[in-house]
Each structure stands twice: as structure tokens, then as C-alpha cells.
Amino acid sequence: MKKKSTVLLVVLAMVLAGVFTGCGSGGSSDSGGEDQVKIGLVQLVEHPSLDTIRENILAQLEEEGYKDGETAVIDYQNAQNEQANLKTICQKFVSDKCDVIIAITTPAAQAAFGETKDIPIIFSAVTDPVEAQLVEDFNAPGGNITGTSDLVAADKIMDLALKITPDVKTIGALYNSSEVNSVSVVDDLKDYAKKNGLKVEEAAVTNSSEIQQAAQSLAGKCDAVFSPIDNTVASAMSVASDVFVKAKVPFYVGADSMVADGGLATYGINYESLGTETAKMAAEVLKGADTATMAVRVMDDMQAYINQKTADALKIEIPEAVKKDATNLGE
């Protein structure tokens, strides 16, 4: 009760102050105009892959009949890689009574889920939603949250890595240890290494300012380095790839955008389709579908991506058998 009246007071104060922003904007709030849907869209940070996902979400939402400023109010917020911002943004989505929250990345989804167990949440590109404690099971999420996953087995990337550089014995793991999406994949890497007689050297960072030093330490003791689908590394790819190119160490990564940004290769999904699929799920929920029973969707259009420019700089010959099925992202 107490909570309700506080919310009412805050809403009243906002109305009096003439504040009509965010999900509550467009004159659609509780005083009528019920046909305008309110969508909160939160993104952890700006890096090329997440921007691609967001653009495709917005395009598909429009396709589904949710156009910002017309049929919908889409409140897009970027947290600039700050946990505290994620919380504030999601709290506002809840107090604005969004009809659905779309959360891009694992940390964003965790923040949204931390704020509401009522408003449906559709996450986008969450690598391991079970490990992140967002859903009980890929096929039966069980609560107010479901979405798309960009899970790719570390094995697939490592198989590709060993085709390109078969002599690798020690592999570095560069990642942010507070990103569940990365920890889960690095665990898989360790299993793979054990089975294949490789040694893993870890360099865990907590933010992008530590990338340069961590990369340098790995470059000194590894034959190759691997980064999972890690937001912190993706935000500092130019720094990391510079270090590894100079040290002539092949750098295998988790996502196509990280290859475009100087990584040597990955085996991964198409993030444009992932964004599209995320918006389709949001539209289904807005039309009444239940998140609890809506399975998490995984992408099946996986392929190899290489960066020929990086390969040339490293003086590595990518085998023809790899090249013929790969997309080159390094002009």
C-alpha cells in the first residue's frame, strides 16, 4: 500500500511539473490514448554489435506496427557501461509502466529482471540466460522474461582456431570476470583445452581501462588469445587487437563485429537476424503471448568470419578450406 501511494505521489508530482518523458510520454499515459504502446529499450553500452542489434530491433518493431511517436512510444536508453545507470533506467521503465521492456545484453537483462517480476521483459543477445539466472530453462523460461540468445559453443571457435593455427599449445583467455556471459564460455574453453591438450592462461579484467595491460601480459606467454562474446572487450577491441597484431599473436573472438574490429576470426551468428527475432518476440508478447512459456530463441545461421587484413599483418596463411566458407570482414 505504502509503495503504491509513493508511486502515485511521484506520478502526480511529475504531472504537475509537466514532466512527460520516456515511456509515459506522447500523451498516452493513464489519462487516455491507450492505443499507444510503451516500450522501454535499454542497451548496456555502445559497441558495433549492440548498435546493429538495436537498429534491427527498431526496424522490425516498425514492421510489426510499433512506430515510435505514432503507434508506440519507444524510450531508448544507453547505460554507458555503468551498472548504476542500468538500475536507474530500469526503475524508470517500471514507474513509467512500460508495456514491455527490451534489454540488450546480459547485464541489462539482469538489471531489468531485478526491477520487475510483472512487466514482460524480452532480452536480446544474452549468451547464457540460464547461467545468468534469468530463465529456468531455454524451452520453459517460467517467468516474465524470455528472449534471444547468441550462444555459440567455444568448441566451434576453437576448432576453427586450430584449423587456422594448428600449432597453438597455450591459449590466453581475455574477458571481464563480472560478465556471466563470458565466464560461462570461458568455462567451456577450459573443458575444450583439457580434452585437446591445450593450456589456458587467463587474464580477467573488470573494465575496459584494464584491457591494454591484460592483453600485453597474455601476448607475452600465449600462442593465441581467445575472447568470448564479452561486452568489455568488444568496447575496447581496437586497443586489444593492436596489442596482439604488434605481438604477432592470433586473436580469436566471440562475435563478427570483433572480427571486423581487428580480431582474426570467429565462428558465430548473424546479429541482424537476432535483433529482428527479438522484436518479433516483443510484438508477440504485446499481442498477448506469455513469456513464461515462450522458449528462448537461438540463431542457427552460424558461419566463419575472418579478417584477411589482420591475417596479413600477422603473416598467417588462412587455409583455403576455411576461406571458402568464411566471410571476410577485413577489407
Shortest gap between Cβ of 56 and ligand TRP (angstroms)? 12
Interface with ligand TRP by CB under 6 A: which range of 69-77, 94-102, 125-133, 284-292?
Answer: 125-133
255 near ligand TRP (CB under 6 A): yes
305 to each of 95, 137, 157, 271, how far by Cα in Å? 42, 30, 10, 13
**Cβ neighbours for 167, distance < 8 A, ≥ 6 positions apart:** 223
Give me the half-sphere count of Cα atoms (radius 13 Å) on the Cβ side of residue 319: 10
29 is an interface residue for ligand TRP by CB under 6 A: no
Residue 105 interacts with ligand TRP (CB under 6 A): yes or no? yes
261 binds ligand TRP (CB under 6 A): no
Please, which residue, 72 or 205, has the CB nearer to ligand TRP? 205
Cβ of residue 200: shortest distance to ligand TRP, in angstroms? Answer: 20
230 binds ligand TRP (CB under 6 A): yes
Binding mask 43-62 for ligand TRP (x = CB under 6 A): ------xx------------
CA distances (Å), 12 to each of 15, 18, 39, 101, 321, in order? Answer: 5, 10, 21, 23, 65
Q: Are 294 and 281 in contact (CB under 8 A)?
A: yes
To the nearest 10 degrees (0 to 180), the angle between helices 48-63 and 271-286 is 40
Is residue 257 involved in binding ligand TRP (CB under 6 A)? yes
Say how many residues touch ligand TRP, by CB under 6 A: 17
Q: Residue 33: is it exposed, middle or buried by C-beta count within 10 angstroms (0-12/13-18/19+)?
A: exposed
Instruction: Tell me which of 73, 79, 125, 215 binds ligand TRP, using CB under 6 A.
Output: 125
d(CA 330, CA 237): 14
- Does 234 participate in binding ligand TRP (rule CB under 6 A)? yes
Taking a C-beta distance cutoff of 8 angstroms, is the pair 172, 226 a contact?
A: yes
- Identity at 147, one-letter amino acid code: G
Enter the DSSP assignment of 125. S
Binding-site member from 126, 161, 183, 279 for ligand TRP (CB under 6 A): 126
Pick between residue 129 and residue 172 the one whose CB is nearest to ligand TRP: 129
**240 counts as binding ligand TRP under rule CB under 6 A:** no
Interatomic CA distance for residues 262 and 36, integer angstroms: 43
Question: Is residue 307 involved in binding ligand TRP (CB under 6 A)?
Answer: no
Least distance in Å: CB of 211 to ligand TRP?
Answer: 13
Q: Which of 164, 255 has the CB closer to ligand TRP?
A: 255
Q: How far apart (Å, rounded) are the C-alpha atoms in residues 267 and 153?
A: 9
Residue 119 is which amino acid? I
The residue range among 21-29, 62-70, 194-202, 227-235 that interacts with ligand TRP, by the rule CB under 6 A, is 227-235
If one asks whether residue 154 binds ligand TRP (CB under 6 A), the answer comes out as no
Residue numbers of the site for ligand TRP (CB under 6 A)? 49-50, 105-106, 125-127, 150, 181, 229-231, 234, 255, 257-258, 271
